[in-house]
Structure 1
């Protein structure tokens, strides 16, 4: 169903909200000024700005102040009287209140041995007859009441103003004189060599040899001056060394310049700034970069920067966040918020139709017919050319990402789950699915038969002729922020966190990022008509040369310079917006509009003045250890120096982020690859130590756009030789070598004698070594005997505990075979008990044999004694029940100790085995308990008891050291012998006593850690 809604377009002309056209920075003594009285401002030929203060001369390089006072420069008084021109264009002169003359040259202040004669007439004399005007305003002019006033004209020429005559003098000769009664020196000044004045009636005149000639004023200043009476004369600010003149009135400042001999041009410098309130006494205008410096007698320095960009707001404080834009009319802009903006006239037009639609902000486009296409999340809408009617709309079942119209009037609609097309000229267009496998589309652009599709997971290339789709592998899994075509097969790609790339000639070339990595998250890139690329980021706007970028991509250029612009240039915020289409709007006149988090940023690229860091590099100071040394192109350092520090500077008043300084240190004769390191932010290069030799310290700076556009300064460093590298040291070393040879011969003889003595000692040592070897052999013999002893025990155990039961079982089984009868119940029981006993006896033997060869018996683990005793008791309960014996375990649960479980288990097993063996029709009680650092385990039975001979054997056997030869054999087999030896390994003891009722009580005690 076609829906057409018609509304009356309501035009609401309201002024756009825009920032002031300049920003002002204020510097005081807290920022590096020596104090807050800036009386004179003058530039030198190197690009520095010099200021006269009450505490010395101050040099300003745009970021830092360097102060020259009597404490660091050889002049007596730090109070500077004034600054005046020197004979050379790049130099300046200054005088102190003690009439000392100072020379400013090459970024430094010197005290010349010979006082320069140029402009010498400006230095005040000792009488009141003559007074040199050194600036306007000059508070001393009316106070001195001199007969003659001097105004600067040239190095040796000046105007002399008397009561009714003005004369031009060169040297001491009068060139001409003009009758000029009641001349007001406060209103006289020179411009381009002409003497001019602004009279009380507001008329500007030029004083010539032929008389007074009126000057024609251009601009609004003529109207202002004509309204002034004698009581409200404008303030005149004359900067003699800078050769500049300014007029101030009603918080507005103009600069006056002679365009020809009869025309005075007024250029607006500053508006809304109160000069008297801020104590402004001197001004200087950098006309190239439209920057104004204002010196205050009490408040330091003010720097006024003209803004080159226009920040635009629509006046909707709740919604000044912008994304996509489209052209509106010939020079206007329309946004999805329902506002049309005209940056030229400063007007905005609210569009009610869009104002009522909840359209999102991320995509808008205009087709060749002039109709607008919007998206509202899942809905596409078509409006007529003046946005007064909704012509068509269609709702998808998924969210729409971006809209793009190609040269064939085809609207491409990127969604989360596919790419659709619409033929825009149709009255009732029907969306068609072009490709379902293109998901999460972030940007779409067409290059002839190739459709480039940016997604959240990479860049895809669709061949519209064949329908084939492939990807750029290097960009897989990367979010594509925007795409931009500058020429066929020349695609610029911005990504999220991976910077900018150029796809050209089937190659993907990543472009270098800036030093601060801001370009890694570039939003958008656009080419202007002047050949520059503009790149928006979250940290400001960057400008790059299109030609340089292509040269870098082709490998013909090693560096790529980016010029950064921050919010001081006119933005409301440094954070631009992206993720929309289009991400930048370029109007027909070439102007560019970029969206940001706070308004639009609008500019004309043709009017932008790039400010490049193209001035020279200066070494201000060299500090060697704790002192300061002079250095021009060569510096000599002692070999034992500890620390050298180079303070460098370069004049640059633009964005500090555009200044990139690097240094390298190269040793003569070495051909290693040059390593360029960035200079620290404090502009200091430091070295701790260097070995002797000749070095070259190279400092370079990127000047701006263009191949190899760098400035480099080289300083030769000579590090002196160490004492051991000098000729005299080598001679002494040769003599010492001869003496050493003689000494070595003498010592050799003595050494032979000493060796004979040492030989006798070595024989004795060898004898001792042989004795140690014999002891080792004896120990080995003891070990072999011990092994034999263990074998004897093993043989005895096998004979006693294995052979006899086996022999019995053979007899029983053999008897059954002879009689051809089955084995009786009692005989099977005996065989079972014998096999059961043999199995556990073998297991104990194995554990015992292992213990005999264990190097470390300290393998401890946490053991629950109740659980261990139950485990062993369960082994014997079958046999015990057959013997009508009950095994009782009285150990409390959770009785846990740290012990060698394996060895303790063998001990418990053997003691339980003996108890079961000697008991019939009774009970066996076992109980374990812990007291402090000891375990007590008791085995009490009601059996026949242990014979006294065995008790005596136990007493004797446990008193002998463990694992020694010649121990007594157990009269009862190997079991008790195993128990006693294992208890010795476990740091335990055994006690055997008679049970008070019947049988035996065996107590074992172990020292453990609980």
Structure 2
């Protein structure tokens, strides 16, 4: 019940003509398809305690009854139905034989009124009070024999012949119509410890003796037993029915208390030592006879297990080989042992290799190889014979060497954990073909060379080029171990998760056409293997024995099998049925090719019913919906094989489902149409009406809009003239704004030039003092230079604090300020700034203003003007007195800055006075020098002041500025 059965009492088992397994239980009828159980327990009856199956499988008529034969059930077309009985099946005197054990209670006779009726075709046999009667086709009833009294009779039919077994007297009666033959020879059939199971509908008879299960056949007047399997403690499980599925090699056992037991009869034999405290993890081996192998520990195996121990000792399991004389060579740490064939592999020689750690011993086409490694790099030493005395070749490789083969007469192919290498025996040069972790290099009997890797897949080497083979869907072949080809056109590949079989033709064709399908069949524990994990990393790893059996090492022992007898399973054609659907949470309902779904459906499960009893990973079911899916979508073949519809809009759809039914890529296709009903507003009629209604609305809107537009045109014409005038005014405003922005840009450029100009002189002076300080040795003079640098730097720092105000000089429109400032304060600040510089040129700056005058003109502009004039006087004067003077006459202020230095030339005086008088600044040509005075003249014009450049007597220049001090 834990696996989906409705009840743990299995009464009978049968397989119908479509391949489905049917179970009779005490709580309903069950159909099994290899994945899950479909229980029919909601039939319109009250009694769900069912008995045995009757009827005819080939005519699709399987019949069973519930207790007391209250109801008769017919299983037809994969569905149980209640049918009306035309006549009583149970008269109180006739019992229709269920097909299994006939026995009566101990110390009691069969009741006189109870008869046993057995039908075989047109023949009938009655057993009544130890008498056996035969009724022929004409209805004539004859007594043919009398049975000796016994506590129990075992009865079965095979090939239309009735067998009555008397275990007490060890007699076997064979009855065919009126012929009765009694055999008193003790056999397994009439052994008291034998139990017989017979199901007439399936025509199967089983004999169980000492836990061995046999299948009975009768041919040419001879009963034969075919061993099926051994089931430990068979009698403890109270099995009451049995069925053997020859196609899938499965045995079904029904218990009256423990449910259903499915025994997968293996196609494989795993040979083990079965010794306490000794593991069966297997690696390298060698063929030892037609049907045996031997491993590095000396154990000899057949497919049934270890049969002899040759006591080779405790050796490494990974490397073995035969030398030219048939001696067995294997490895133990840094020693190579050679066990002599001539002594029956009793005596052995050993060879010790000193130095690095010995890793492996190999042989390929007459070359013997020994690899040594420091686990970073490895050396491969090649010898021409098995004495291993003197190496003919030695090569070095990165990584640990796992195998090598002689590729041809001139080249070696070497695989290591670092990559695949090709080494020339002629030039002794090595080329790295590809960098990956090589597990094994295999040359199959068809001449192809395969490279198995760790996590990179399998590669075919052709003409020194690698071609990667397609992987299986689960990518288990990323870390395959070994490859063998059988005589029937297939490759067998071992991996860490199963044994794979693939068509040689498909695999090789995939290299020519990437779209060519490659179908892998995977064998696992469900096929009878003890483990899914095979082993690799050993040389040699797998064999094809002389008796045509294959051997692969695994974690549980050596796996033997005959590739000719191992079957692969695919669904049979025409056994795929799509006829059940489950919509939302409703019950499963049948349908025929078409499904109607309401618009509010949440999901719909469409079941794909097919009898498949092998590993579901080999079952390939795909689906796609027309105009929805471009590619086939794989359906997971789990406990329920189904396709779920979700999130589809209203409409008609076609679902295509295909199932792989052969290893050649043949599919069986099925289609299901379904329709999702639209809501009223999703119908075509509604959409047409809606379209017409919207069209009418649009037409009305257009008409009203046209009328409104005509009325508005009249109003707009009046507004156009007004707007034209407004546009002209707006255009003029935009032009003015453009000029303002252009002027602002010019102001910004001039500001940068002004800052650059005003900083040049003090910075140049600091640089000059620093240079002289570096050259001066006198400490007093150095101190004076330090003071000069300090004072100039401090004044320069104060000046930089006013740069923010400097930036506003050209952009500002504010010429006059509300609060006045002292002109003497400006004079004193500039005097301190330039004093040290002036002294170095023997210049003296004096302030001669008698009174402190308050000035209301923009302080930043005035400071900039004074700064630049003093800067020019200091820069171009030596041994000069620079005087700063200011006086106020009414609303005007006169500023005078004079020097007694070299002064301006006549040409310069004429030039700068002309610049001031020029009203168009853009047409004034600037000279290469004197930018500071150009800037002063621009600022003078900005504040509507006057400036005049004249000669000083006897030498120097006087700059007079007249300011209108408007408060």
TM-score of the two chains, using structure 1 as the length reference: 0.68
Judge conservation of contact 1:666–1:674 (CA < 8 Å) in 2. Answer: no
State the Cα deviation string for residues 337-364 of structure 1 (Å, max 9, x = none). Answer: 344445567423142xx416xx432211
Give the Cα separation in 2 of the matches to 1:839 and 1:691. Answer: 80
Judge conservation of contact 1:421–1:432 (CA < 8 Å) in 2. Answer: yes
Query: In the TM superposition, what are the counterparts of 1:850-929 in structure 2 within 5 Å?
Result: none
Q: Look up the match of 1:196.
A: 163
Judge conservation of contact 1:423–1:429 (CA < 8 Å) in 2. Answer: no
Instruction: Measure how far apart 1:380 and its partner are.
Output: 3.3
Judge conservation of contact 1:153–1:193 (CA < 8 Å) in 2. Answer: no
Judge conservation of contact 2:620–2:634 (CA < 8 Å) in 1. Answer: no
1:108 paired residue among 46, 68, 79: 79
Q: Secondary structure at the match of 2:24?
A: strand
Instruction: Measure how far apart 1:306 and its partner are.
Output: 2.2
Give the Cα separation in 2 of the matches to 1:457 and 1:639. Answer: 61
Q: Look up the match of 1:279.
A: 238
Instruction: Measure how far apart 1:310 and its partner are.
Output: 1.8
Q: Look up the match of 2:516.
A: 558
Q: Is 1:178 aligned to 2:140, yes or no?
A: no
Q: Look up the match of 1:13.
A: none
State the Cα deviation string for residues 918-970 of structure 1 (Å, max 9, x = none). Answer: 9x9xxxxxxxxxxxxxxxxxxxxxxxxxxx999x99xxx9xxxxxxxx97779
- Higher mean alpha-carbon deviation, 677-686 vs 178-187, is at 178-187
Q: Look up the match of 1:925.
A: none
Judge conservation of contact 1:312–1:602 (CA < 8 Å) in 2. Answer: no
1:134 paired residue among 73, 83, 98: 98
Q: Secondary structure at the match of 1:173?
A: coil
Q: Is 1:713 aligned to 2:670, yes or no?
A: yes
Give the Cα separation in 1 of the matches to 2:2 and 2:862. Answer: 102
Q: Look up the match of 1:936.
A: none
C-alpha spacing 1:403/1:107, structure 2 compared with 1 (3 Å): farther
C-alpha spacing 1:802/1:508, structure 2 compared with 1 (3 Å): closer
C-alpha spacing 1:642/1:208, structure 2 compared with 1 (3 Å): closer
Q: Look up the match of 1:255.
A: 215
C-alpha spacing 1:738/1:837, structure 2 compared with 1 (3 Å): closer
State the Cα deviation string for residues 579-616 of structure 1 (Å, max 9, x = none). Answer: 11111233332333322334333334344344445473
Q: Look up the match of 2:412.
A: 451
1:517 paired residue among 463, 475, 485: 475
Judge conservation of contact 1:37–1:298 (CA < 8 Å) in 2. Answer: yes
Q: Is 1:622 aligned to 2:581, yes or no?
A: yes
Give the Cα separation in 1 of the matches to 2:379 and 2:31. Answer: 63
Q: Is 1:685 aligned to 2:630, yes or no?
A: no
Give the Cα separation in 1 of the matches to 2:109 and 2:693. Answer: 83
Q: Look up the match of 1:395.
A: 353
Instruction: Measure how far apart 1:57 and its partner are.
Output: 0.8
Give the Cα separation in 2 of the matches to 1:967 and 1:618. Answer: 100
Q: Is 1:206 aligned to 2:171, yes or no?
A: no
Q: Secondary structure at the match of 1:605?
A: coil
1:238 paired residue among 171, 182, 198: 198
Q: Look up the match of 1:270.
A: 230
C-alpha spacing 1:673/1:453, structure 2 compared with 1 (3 Å): same
| Structure number with higher relative contact order (C-alpha < 8 Å, ≥ 6 residues apart) | 1
C-alpha spacing 1:527/1:210, structure 2 compared with 1 (3 Å): same
Q: Look up the match of 1:813.
A: none
Instruction: Measure how far apart 1:31 and its partner are.
Output: 0.8
1:526 paired residue among 481, 484, 492: 484
C-alpha spacing 1:334/1:914, structure 2 compared with 1 (3 Å): farther
Query: In the TM superposition, what are the counterparts of 1:39-50 in structure 2 within 5 Å?
Result: 39-50=11-22
Q: Secondary structure at the match of 1:697?
A: strand
Judge conservation of contact 1:321–1:598 (CA < 8 Å) in 2. Answer: yes
Query: In the TM superposition, what are the counterparts of 1:148-167 in structure 2 within 5 Å?
Result: 149-154=115-120, 158-163=124-129, 165-167=131-133
Q: Look up the match of 2:617.
A: 657
How many aligned positions are there? 808
Q: Look up the match of 2:705.
A: 748
Q: Is 1:501 aligned to 2:444, yes or no?
A: no
Query: In the TM superposition, what are the counterparts of 1:561-576 in structure 2 within 5 Å?
Result: 561-567=519-525, 571-576=529-534
C-alpha spacing 1:751/1:278, structure 2 compared with 1 (3 Å): farther
C-alpha spacing 1:652/1:176, structure 2 compared with 1 (3 Å): farther
Give the Cα separation in 1 of the matches to 2:94 and 2:277. Answer: 62
1:291 paired residue among 246, 250, 255: 250
Judge conservation of contact 1:177–1:209 (CA < 8 Å) in 2. Answer: no
Please tell me whether Structure 1 or Structure 2 has the larger radius of gyration of its CA atoms. Answer: 2
State the Cα deviation string for residues 154-200 of structure 1 (Å, max 9, x = none). Answer: 57754333335534557893476524356878533322222211013
State the Cα deviation string for residues 260-293 of structure 1 (Å, max 9, x = none). Answer: 3343435354342233x32221111123444221
Q: Is 1:315 aligned to 2:271, yes or no?
A: no
Q: Is 1:370 aligned to 2:326, yes or no?
A: yes
Q: Look up the match of 2:261.
A: 302
Instruction: Measure how far apart 1:295 and its partner are.
Output: 0.9
2:553 paired residue among 557, 580, 595: 595
Give the Cα separation in 1 of the matches to 2:50 and 2:810. Answer: 97
Q: Look up the match of 1:53.
A: 25
Root-mean-square deviation (CA), in Å?
A: 5.0
Q: Is 1:33 aligned to 2:1, yes or no?
A: no
Q: Look up the match of 1:700.
A: 658
C-alpha spacing 1:839/1:248, structure 2 compared with 1 (3 Å): same
Judge conservation of contact 2:599–2:679 (CA < 8 Å) in 1. Answer: yes
C-alpha spacing 1:581/1:314, structure 2 compared with 1 (3 Å): farther
Instruction: Measure how far apart 1:630 and its partner are.
Output: 3.1
Give the Cα separation in 2 of the matches to 1:744 and 1:563. Answer: 70
Q: Is 1:95 aligned to 2:59, yes or no?
A: no
Give the Cα separation in 2 of the matches to 1:601 and 1:769. Answer: 98
Judge conservation of contact 1:481–1:496 (CA < 8 Å) in 2. Answer: yes
Instruction: Measure how far apart 1:513 and its partner are.
Output: 2.1
State the Cα deviation string for residues 868-896 of structure 1 (Å, max 9, x = none). Answer: xxxxxxxxxxxxxxxxxxxxxxxxxxxxx
Judge conservation of contact 1:692–1:720 (CA < 8 Å) in 2. Answer: yes
Give the Cα separation in 1 of the matches to 2:104 and 2:739. Answer: 118
C-alpha spacing 1:673/1:140, structure 2 compared with 1 (3 Å): farther
Judge conservation of contact 2:457–2:468 (CA < 8 Å) in 1. Answer: yes
Instruction: Measure how far apart 1:480 and its partner are.
Output: 1.5
Give the Cα separation in 1 of the matches to 2:731 and 2:104. Answer: 111
C-alpha spacing 1:529/1:805, structure 2 compared with 1 (3 Å): closer
Give the Cα separation in 2 of the matches to 1:974 and 1:216. Answer: 146
C-alpha spacing 1:79/1:847, structure 2 compared with 1 (3 Å): farther
Give the Cα separation in 2 of the matches to 1:365 and 1:498. Answer: 28
2:295 paired residue among 331, 335, 349: 335
- Higher mean alpha-carbon deviation, 525-534 vs 722-731, is at 722-731
Give the Cα separation in 1 of the matches to 2:115 and 2:852. Answer: 141
Q: Look up the match of 2:379.
A: 418
- Higher mean alpha-carbon deviation, 584-593 vs 194-203, is at 584-593
Judge conservation of contact 1:56–1:67 (CA < 8 Å) in 2. Answer: yes
Listed as ranges, the gaps of 5+ residues in structure 1 are 1-28, 810-823, 855-909, 921-947, 958-965, 976-1010
Give the Cα separation in 1 of the matches to 2:746 and 2:406. Answer: 95
